[in-house]
Every structure is written in structure tokens, then in C-alpha cells.
Amino acid sequence: MKKLFPGLLKKKGITLLLPIAVLGCAAPAYNANTGQVAVRPASVGLIQQGEAAFARYKKKTPVSRNSAARARVHRVANQLRPVINLPGARWEFEVFEDSSANAFALPGGKVGINTGLLNIAVTDGQLAAALAHEMAHVTSNHAQARVRNNQVIAVGGAILGAVLGSSESGKEMGEIAQKGGQIAFGLTFSRTQELEADRVGTIFMARAGFDPADAITLWERMGAQNRSTTPEFLSTHPVSATRIQKLREFLPTARAQQR
């Protein structure tokens, strides 16, 4: 991924210069007792940061001119949007000309999809799984959760963390490091956010008329493409096998939300 925040991203990897901190988990976004999804609007300041970052990224990264790809993304996004009521959100979906199978979300409802991901998410249902996952990061306010749980992280760093925590790329995403270069800081929290976005995303899919089982198919295809050798305990993203297992366990709950 190209530089989104100057000085923080490197060309062939991503290094966050953040101090070590112990992160606590926020209350789950999905309530198993009520079947309700908690929607947590971001602060005005964080939304502004997200919008500014997205605008900068669009200036630096080629936007896809493939009309069919763009129409497909917007068709699926428009089917998902009515089931998501997020106060203050100004949803925007952009397709970037990038061969990596990647996507990201920023506070305020800014979602980026790489053309490389469209080669893996070959059906509308699989694409809905990717988009709903990113939208779930926004509705769960994962970026602001990081700020609350680690006040020493700057807002810009938290937004970047949200980007890293919302996608699984064929490229190595780099490491989250202490200023001194040591590995460690809230990796489990990031994985928890990822799995939560998976669950909430399948609920959004079901409510919008998609089959949440397509999320499982998407991650099976992602796993076949991304043979990372990074041990799961050192990764900010759960490996595909873990995600698939958790999605299968949650599938009956998600399907019960179909309307």
C-alpha cells in the first residue's frame, strides 16, 4: 500500500512507531441475547481525520477507471447501505487501481477497495462480504476504540491502525512496533476487532439479502491466495483458517437475521 500518512508507511511494509500499551476490549458490537448490533458513531474530530486521510489517499493512489468494476462495487454497496444506520456517516466507496487483494475503511464511512480484491471476490455475495466487513469496522468505531484504550497513540496513528485492521493483503503488512523497534502492542486487540467485524459484517449481509455463507467462501479464496508464513500470534490478522472456523460457528446466527 502506498503512503497514506507521511513518515508512517514504508514502500514494502508498514511500520507503526507506537509505544507498547495494554489494550482492553470494548463491549461486543453484537449482542447475542438481543440480536442487536451496536452502532457507535465516531467523534467529529475523528471523522474529519478520516475524511482528510481519504482525500489525500485518492490524490496519491490511482483511481480505477474500469466502469464495470466501479458499477459493481457501488451496486453492492448501495444494497448494503439501507440496513446500516450510522449517524454522521457520509459513505463513500472508491475503487483503487492496485493489484493487492486489499480493502480498508476510515472513520466517517470512507471505504477503499483495490482492484486486486475484485479478482478474488468474484461474485456479488463475496464482494458484499468484503464491503460489509469494512463497514462493520466503521459502525463498530474500531478506530476510536483504539484511542480510548491507548491515549498515548495519536489520532493519526489510530486511523492508520484502523486501515491495517480492516484488510488482509497478499503483501506482508509489516509489523507493529515500539519506538525502539521491538515487536509487541495490542495485537490480540486488533485480531479481536477483525473477528468482530467478520461477525457484524455477516449480519449486515443477511439483512441486505445476501447469503452470509459467501463470507466463508471469500476467506477460503483469500487463504488460497495468501500463503503467509507469519505465525498467527505475531499477526494483526487472524489467519484464514481461524476466520473461516469462527464464521462457520456464527453462520446460523447471521442467517437468522435474513429478512
The amino acid that residue 201 corresponds to is G
Asked if 212 contacts 198 with a C-beta cutoff of 8 angstroms, the reply is no
One-character DSSP codes across 47-101 = HHHHHHHHHHHHHHSPBP--HHHHHHHHHHHHHHGGG---TT---EEEEE---S-
| 8 A C-beta contact, residue 173 and residue 49 | no
Q: How does DSSP classify residue 53?
A: H
**Beta strand ranges found along the chain (DSSP E):** 9-10, 13-17, 30-31, 36-37, 92-96, 103-106, 110-114, 175-177
Query: Does residue 134 have an active-site annotation?
Result: yes
Please state the φ and ψ torsions of residue 151, each to the nearest 5 degrees.
-70, -15
Among residues 51, 134, 194, 220, which one is catalytic?
134
Three-class DSSP category at 1: coil
Q: Are 113 and 96 in contact (CB under 8 A)?
A: yes
- What is the bridge-based pairing of β-strands 110-114 and 92-96? parallel
Q: Where in the sequence numbering do the catalytic residues fall?
A: 134
